[in-house]
A and B are shown apart, each in its own frame.
Chain A
Amino acid sequence: SVTKRAVAVAAQHDKVPRPVGFVPPPPPCPGKIRHFDI
């Protein structure tokens, strides 16, 4: 019988193991907001 794994579980298993404390770099763009966003 085929059992469907929850996506979160599957994603967890498939995810490449990352070193502890790994912080993904911020996306290169768009940049920071200097005054306010309208």
Chain B
Amino acid sequence: VPAAPPAPLGCDDPESEAAAAAAVNYINGHSHHGYKFALNRIEDIRVVPQGPNNEIMFLELDLLETECHILSPTPLENCTVRSFAEHAVEGDCDVKLQKVDGTLSVLASKCHSHADSSEDILKVCPDCPLLASLNNTEVLETVSAALNDYNSKATDAYLRLLEIGRAKVQYHPAHIVVAEFAVGATNCSSEDAKANVGACQLLPEDQSNFGFCTTTMVKRPSQDLQVDCQLYGHQVPAPDIPLLSQDTS
């Protein structure tokens, strides 16, 4: 009598969790923008045997954005998942993996991320500021002012903007713009930049030094600008995963 087919894998089985961990590691390793994502839920798993010790796995994953920018060297397990009230961002991913002799490799992945609906946030937290569009004029002005302010006071390399990660604009009780953005060190000192900022280019990949800044600009009732930048230091890019491409806007 032919052996009964193996019971379908459950989404919380250790084998499924191992596949999901490999998938999340791959997704974060091949993403060049935004934040690292953490696993929130394995929605579904389907296994298609290909022969002895060889199977294809199809995973449907529900991820949540963390507070770590994708360029941060912080290990994912140390990255805090963005709280619901901070206007969480969810990632829905379909991943195809192959498992041969117990070794997992990702064959393909496709993800779509979206912020939680404003209604959901306001239902739970009526006063929570919501995510603003990244090309919001106030956001762009705040990031530009913050980076200029930081560069004008810095004594080390002149920093260039790589990308804005997220931003919020609050109007009540005060008018406040909060933003987070990624930066890269250039081949200029701040002094050089004052003379000829056009000559300041991001350092080549083998010397790259990226960082992350947060800024809060209070516009009313009084003007105040706070900016804090942390440079990660040079990281050796993993062989098959180039760090952020130099042409990143």
Residue-wise interface mask of B (59-96) relative to A, using a CB-CB cutoff of 8 A (1 in contact, 0 not): 00010100000000000000001001000101000000
- Residues A28 and B120 in contact in the complex (CB < 8 Å), given A34-B40, A35-B38, A35-B64: no
Distance between Cα atoms of A34 and B81 in the complex (Å): 10
- Residues A31 and B64 in contact in the complex (CB < 8 Å), given A38-B84, A38-B116, A38-B120: no
- Residues A29 and B64 in contact in the complex (CB < 8 Å), given A35-B81, A38-B116: no
Residue-wise interface mask of A (12-38) relative to B, using a CB-CB cutoff of 8 A (1 in contact, 0 not): 000000000000001011111111111
Distance between Cα atoms of A9 and B88 in the complex (Å): 47
Task: Give chain B nearest CB distance to A24 CB in angstroms.
Answer: 14
- Whether B10 pairs with A30 at a CB distance below 8 angstroms is no
Interface size class of A (residues with CB under 8 A): 10 to 19
- Chain A residues whose C-beta falls within 8 Å of the C-beta of B38 in the assembled complex: 34-35
- Chain A residues whose C-beta falls within 8 Å of the C-beta of B120 in the assembled complex: 38
- Whether B116 pairs with A28 at a CB distance below 8 angstroms is no
**A25, closest chain B residue (CB):** B10
Is B160 part of the binding interface, using a Cβ–Cβ cutoff of 8 Å?
no
- Whether A33 pairs with B41 at a CB distance below 8 angstroms is yes
Is B178 part of the binding interface, using a Cβ–Cβ cutoff of 8 Å?
no
**A31, closest chain B residue (CB):** B11
Chain A binding surface, main DSSP class: loop
**A33, closest chain B residue (CB):** B41
Task: Give chain B nearest CB distance to A37 CB in angstroms.
Answer: 8
- Whether A28 pairs with B10 at a CB distance below 8 angstroms is yes
Task: Give chain B nearest CB distance to A31 CB in angstroms.
Answer: 3
Distance between Cα atoms of A17 and B88 in the complex (Å): 46
Is B8 part of the binding interface, using a Cβ–Cβ cutoff of 8 Å?
yes
Task: Give chain A nearest CB distance to B13 CB in angstroms.
Answer: 8
- Chain B residues whose C-beta falls within 8 Å of the C-beta of A29 in the assembled complex: 10-11, 42-45
- Whether B39 pairs with A34 at a CB distance below 8 angstroms is yes
- Residues A32 and B41 in contact in the complex (CB < 8 Å), given A38-B84, A38-B116: yes
Is B12 part of the binding interface, using a Cβ–Cβ cutoff of 8 Å?
yes
Task: Give chain B nearest CB distance to A1 CB in angstroms.
Answer: 47
Q: List B residues 113-134 near A (Cβ within 8 Å).
A: 116, 120
Is B111 part of the binding interface, using a Cβ–Cβ cutoff of 8 Å?
no
In the A-B complex, list the 5 residue pairs whose CB atoms are closest, starting with the nearest. A31-B11, A28-B10, A29-B11, A31-B42, A31-B12
- Provide 19 A-B residue pairs closer than 8 Å at the C-beta atoms, listed in order of the A residue: A26-B10, A28-B9, A28-B11, A29-B43, A30-B43, A31-B41, A31-B42, A31-B43, A32-B12, A32-B41, A34-B38, A34-B40, A34-B41, A35-B64, A36-B40, A37-B40, A37-B41, A38-B88, A38-B90
